[in-house]
Structure 1
């Protein structure tokens, strides 16, 4: 089940929730009760593993 990060625009309360893809997004802040909650989107880290991702991989090392 995915974890979503939310922040309230009214009181700046940050929280995360485990929700199904079918669940409606949370709009009411659990701390202040205002309908000012929005999802926070951030970059997903990418990790390249294996051969072929580095400049030195597969490069021919000719010594002339």
Structure 2
């Protein structure tokens, strides 16, 4: 379940609340009874594993197999051409 940050507009009290997506937003400050406001900040997202970054496909040779394949075909055709 996600954790939401709240701040009171009257007393400035700040706290986090773990709520379901379907739960209504909190509206009353537990300290003074004032109005609460949801706080939005940067979200810490971490992508682990392969395939999330542009360079991941290159690490496994995603773009490099074309180069060895063409050099192998040239190497095979060169001796045949030299023998002809």
TM-score (norm 2): 0.54
CA distance in 2, matches of 1:46, 1:18: 18
| Pairs within 5 Å for 1:17-56 | 17-34=17-34, 36-47=35-46, 52=55
**Where does structure 1 lack aligned partners over 5 or more consecutive residues?**
58-64
CA distance in 2, matches of 1:48, 1:31: 38
RMSD: 2.0
**Where does structure 2 lack aligned partners over 5 or more consecutive residues?**
60-84
Q: Which structure is larger by alpha-carbon Rg, 1 or 2?
A: 2
Q: CA deviation at 1:44?
A: 1.3
Pairs aligned (count): 54
Match of 1:12 in 2: 12
Give structure 1 regions of 4+ aligned residues with deviation exceeding 2 angstroms: 45-51
CA distance in 2, matches of 1:46, 1:19: 19
Higher helix share: 2
Query: Counterpart of 1:21 in 2: which secondary structure?
Result: coil
TM-score (norm 1): 0.69
